[in-house]
Amino acid sequence: MNRNKSSRIAWGVALAVSAAVVATPVLAADFGPVEPMKINAEKAALGKRLFFDPRLSGDAAISCSTCHIPQKGFSDGLALAKAYPGSDGFRNTPTLINTARKAAWFHDGRIGTNLNDVTRESITETYSMNMDMRLMQERVKQDPIYVKMFKDAGYGEPSNGSIRKAIPEYLKTLTSRGAPFDTGKMSAAAQRGFDLFKGKAGCAQCHSGPRFTDDMPHNIGVPENPEIWSNPMRHITFVTFANFMGIENYMNIRRDVGAHIRTHKVDGSDMGKFMTPTLRELRQTAPYMHNGTSKTLADVVAFYNRGGGNDANKDPRIKPLDLSKAERANLVAFLEALSGDPLTGPEHVWKDKINVNYAVIEDWLKKTN
């Protein structure tokens, strides 16, 4: 069956048919490479500059690239992300490579529409960039380079609507390339790992398709990261988020509820489910899991070999694997072979300095342009 299509099914339906989806034998043809997307060059160039511009945050201190760092596979190397000054993050920063292909975004999958909405949330939430869209629009309008770039991109005057379109156009340029898995240069160990992945280790039941994900939430029993509950800055950020998302008992819970944020099941069976992440570019994106509790790929494989973590909602497919030391090493070699060339050249990174030291406008109230 066509997994790309199946992953686009609305969640309610997808959850109902998920058992059928995973029962389908996984064919080698289901995997990679990730094909490049059609791009509008002017819009993507504008989106690139916006992505690296700290003026898109409330106090002009952080940009998207503060957390999504090209040299780290557009993640940040931290277990838990930073956040807007005065708060601190409670989730691991995911890679943005191939993100334009996803069916639902954020670790809990709470946005299932499009990257325009993800960009809006990233810019405006108090715990990410804490920006007022109207202020952002005015700031961008004051920069003559932007005025020209918006015009060249066919957007007319800079507006918050077109900012939310241009950034996703840039994100579409972030496509994996050059992984040994795609170029046919996998080592023999990695090849044996791939066989385990599809067979005995059962990984492909959830990690399938060119990005190695079914774009669905599952509970694999990842333990809580105690740092979220012991560090007041992180805890208050979580409480704010949970309150805003309508989570019951948000002052007292001491767990990240995951996909429950979106599906709010009364029986709580969606608690602790997180979106299956892509397995591409893992060499650049440690540490792993929604809360950064696995430091290395060997740790992740050891976790699965033990049968995952302890959780009442744990997926029954996560059980002890009884893999030998050599088999575990092969699996790690395979996971490493899914990482390709870093996207750190000028094609993906805005290299020019962004000048934010403007001369004061004299008599600005009387200015007409």
Neighbouring-strand partners of residue 323: none
Size of the site for ligand HEC (CB under 6 A): 54
Q: Which is nearer to ligand HEC, 58 or 277 (CB)?
A: 277
Q: Least separation, in Å, of the C-beta of 314 and ligand HEC?
A: 9
Q: Least separation, in Å, of the C-beta of 34 and ligand HEC?
A: 14
Q: Which stretch binds ligand HEC (CB under 6 A): 9-17, 35-43, 113-121, 230-238?
A: 113-121
Interface residue with ligand HEC among 48, 91, 211, 348 (CB under 6 A) is 91
Interface residue with ligand HEC among 141, 247, 315, 342 (CB under 6 A) is 315
Quick one: tokens of 119? 């960009």
Binding to ligand HEC (CB under 6 A) within 236-275 occurs at: 274
Q: Which is nearer to ligand HEC, 85 or 364 (CB)?
A: 85
Q: Does 116 bind ligand HEC (CB under 6 A)?
A: no
Q: What are the DSSP E strand ranges found in 30-109? A: none
- C-beta atoms surrounding 77 within 10 Å: 14
Give SS3 for 96: coil
**How many Cα atoms within 13 Å fall on the side-chain side of residue 120?**
13
Q: Does 163 bind ligand HEC (CB under 6 A)?
A: no
Q: Which is nearer to ligand HEC, 271 or 318 (CB)?
A: 318
- DSSP character at residue 67: H
DSSP string, 137-170: HHHHHT-HHHHHHHHHTT--S--HHHHHHHHHHH
Q: Which is nearer to ligand HEC, 175 or 205 (CB)?
A: 205
Give SS3 for 93: coil
Q: Least separation, in Å, of the C-beta of 365 and ligand HEC?
A: 31
- DSSP character at residue 243: H
Q: Which is nearer to ligand HEC, 119 or 339 (CB)?
A: 119
Binding to ligand HEC (CB under 6 A) within 127-156 occurs at: 128-129
Interface residue with ligand HEC among 202, 209, 210, 340 (CB under 6 A) is 202
Neighbouring-strand partners of residue 111: 105
Binding to ligand HEC (CB under 6 A) within 333-352 occurs at: 335
Residue written as token pair 């602790």: 272
Cβ-proximal residues to 360 (8 Å cutoff; 6+ apart), any chain:
none
Q: Does 123 bind ligand HEC (CB under 6 A)?
A: yes
Neighbouring-strand partners of residue 275: 217
Q: Does 176 bind ligand HEC (CB under 6 A)?
A: no
Quick one: tokens of 230? 């012991």
Contact between residue 310 and residue 221 where contact means Cβ atoms under 8 Å apart = yes
Q: How far apart are CA 11 and CA 18, in angstroms?
A: 10
Interface residue with ligand HEC among 6, 7, 18, 93 (CB under 6 A) is 93
Binding to ligand HEC (CB under 6 A) within 39-68 occurs at: 56, 62, 64, 66-68
Q: Which is nearer to ligand HEC, 155 or 165 (CB)?
A: 165
Binding mask of the shown chain, residues 269 to 308, with x at each position contacting ligand HEC by CB under 6 A: -----x-xx-x--x--x--xxx------x--xx--x----
Q: Which is nearer to ligand HEC, 68 or 172 (CB)?
A: 68
Cβ-proximal residues to 55 (8 Å cutoff; 6+ apart), any chain:
136, 139, 140, 143, 354, 356
Q: Is 130 left (phi over 0), alpha (psi -120 to 50) or beta?
A: left
Q: How far apart are CA 310 and CA 197, in angstroms?
A: 22
Neighbouring-strand partners of residue 105: 111
Give SS3 for 258: strand
Give SS3 for 317: coil
- The residues of the shown chain that bind ligand HEC, judged by CB under 6 A, are 56, 62, 64, 66-68, 81-83, 89, 91, 93-94, 96, 99, 102, 105-107, 115, 118-119, 122-123, 128-129, 167, 201-203, 205-207, 218, 220, 222, 274, 276-277, 279, 282, 285, 288-290, 297, 300-301, 304, 315, 317-318, 331, 335
